[in-house]
Amino acid sequence: MTEKITAEDRTECIQCGTCCTSGGPALHSDDLIMVRDGRLPKAQLITIRKGELAHNPLTNSLQRIKNELVKISGVGREWNCYYFDPMEKGCTIYEKRPKACRSLKCWDTAEIEQLIEKDTVSRLDLLAEDDPLRPHIEEHEKRFPCPDMQELLEKGPGEQRGDLEESINQEIIFRQKVVTKYDLSLGEELFVFGRPLFHLMISVGGQVREVSNRLVLSWD
């Protein structure tokens, strides 16, 4: 009878792909070169802005991100890493995979635990000093910072609902202007600005509907 190998019994990666099926990894400074030389195109990256909620595998809970992260995007309903091939159940860039993937050893998590939220890169680290998108990113952060997602999740918007509704509408106008000016694809937009505010509202229990060309935000 063949003995079942569990993660604890493993001593090396068998490239089963299990760790590639819940979104892509956050990028670290070691990965900068792959973005700069085009091996990791920005259209396949997504920014998780400071203050957004993300799953912390160490505590198995949602936590506010203290510093902005740039991750490889997920795709499809399953949100598999963009570079995961579900047919082959493997990584299509395995030999050149990012640092977080090389550090993730499902049989011994010590190395990846040391890496979480450390030495990560931000959007501005990945853009040239003279990139014309930089001032738009800075203005976006100033005008439309990520709200307190933990509080929204636990208590809802309270008296902030009207202000949040105005922000989600103004943010869409702001994004559309920049997207049109620079002809950004959806992937590039998600790198430049992260997820729209209205998506963030939906992720913590808000409902958004369009009425007369305006988004209306409600909460149960």
- 18 binds ligand SF4, rule: CB under 6 A: yes
CA distance 145 to 137: 11
Q: Does 57 bind ligand SF4 (CB under 6 A)?
A: no
Helix (H/G/I), strand (E/B), else coil: 65: coil
- Report, in Å, the least distance between residue 54 CB and ligand SF4: 15
Q: In whole angstroms, give the CA distance from residue 88 to residue 78.
A: 16
Q: How far is the CB of 51 from ligand SF4 (least distance, A)?
A: 24
Tell me the C-alpha distance between 190 and 75, whole Å: 13
202 touches ligand SF4 (CB under 6 A)? no
Size of the site for ligand SF4 (CB under 6 A): 22
117/177 Cα distance (integer angstroms): 32
Residue 31 CB, nearest approach to ligand SF4 (Å) = 10
Q: Does 27 bind ligand SF4 (CB under 6 A)?
A: no
Output the smallest distance, CB 161 to ligand SF4, in A: 37
CB closer to ligand SF4, 101 vs 184:
101
The set of residues, in sequence order, having a beta carbon less than 8 Å from that of 139 and lying 6+ positions away, is 174
- Shortest approach of ligand SF4 to residue 89 CB, angstroms? 9
Distance CA 68, CA 121 (A): 8
19 binds ligand SF4 (CB under 6 A): yes
Site string for ligand SF4, 72-111 (x = CB under 6 A): x--------x-xx------x-x---xx--x--xxx-----
What are the structure tokens assigned to 1, written together? 């009878």
Based on the shown chain and the rule CB under 6 A, indicate whether residue 22 belongs to the binding site for ligand SF4.
no
What are the b/e assignments for 135-155, b being 16+ CB within 10 Å? ebbeebbeebebbebeebeee
User: Would you say 193 and 133 are in contact if contact means Cβ atoms under 8 Å apart?
Assistant: no
The residue ranges that bind ligand SF4 (CB under 6 A) are 13-20, 24-25, 72, 81, 83-84, 91, 93, 97-98, 101, 104-106
